[in-house]
Structure 1
């Protein structure tokens, strides 16, 4: 059940912080799919399905301006080629902000590709992709987005896989002015998702199903032009990576990163994006 509480964090700062645990019925709306999204087990589990007619998706009831969101996901098993399972934050409008986890399906026995991206004011092109060090279809695993004014950290089971820092000081856009909702979806993208669209979705394997549970949100709720956080709300608001986290990040990037826009000189013939020159 969702818990909303007022936390006195210090003698100076008092903030209203939403801390929600896994009651999907209270926290999200299934927004499309015509019944293909289902909330089960008294709100503890949410499943999305995809068939040839439609995929499905849900979104948070609240908008947030900074926060830490954890979601446990079990991905489509078997031949998932052509499918994309997502968990992301996004603001509305034509100059939107967005923070993405996208899981690109593949043929049976081949690894999923975990695709990450960051958009600010409608501009992205900041992709990093990874293989995972486990089978994400066999069990639930926790995928986390930490978003504060200084950095975005993507984590898997508590291990950071990517950090996108605020480098506004050198002219790099950073998402910090637009409130975002949390979204998740399962949809068909066989025009690009698997081997660049060479492998198409095998509809004889449908319906495809992904499962979500244990949603946890620690965030500043944005409503009527105001944040529920009067000031610095919690440790995540100023969180940085310690030396242990930095070592784990380097381990993931050395062993499991398969694409990094910051090393793709062919894509950026006029020069790599500015943030690529900064040390991590």
Structure 2
């Protein structure tokens, strides 16, 4: 059995370095999100935080409140309990619990995203249960919904003709912040500085046998790519590191 070549090992190491960078970046982002929400970075907690800010909801003191996540403080639903859901795609069904709740507020986006919000649906629980029971739909986890059910409950981006909750311009602008682009942004090389600098050091060591590269040169290389998003493949990571090394050529 032949041993892997230096080039093959370099590719494997680049893949590990990329994984370390992505996981390190995600850990930092999750910690920052948790500080903002006061709970965790899980989709459920994030969705509740967003809904509270956009829809003026007073959240329950605990994230494990049975039946509902809080109450509307103002508007046509003031005082009514609400269960907030954040799904990659509400078309896959929603979880409906056994505990009482006045309305379900569902924040939904594409299947490929946990946090993007492109549609919002507001269901009156009593009406929804009556509709589902009339169709003999099993109610519980991932309760099956028809497209017509979602269309009738839609309040964003374009409300259904029968919508009883109309968003203000400010609410629409706040929801637009989570349309997908910013929600899917990954970490930048500057977010994982230690790993990025180590990759640069490894690359420099391959040609700098006489120690010509000084600390200030390494700093310049790092800052060349610090604002770039971490590349999505080992090959692209190496290409970014090569770009950083070219900074020394022009130093």
- Alignment TM-score > 0.5, same fold: no
- As a proportion of its length, which structure holds more strand? 1
Larger Rg: 2
TM-score by length of 1: 0.26
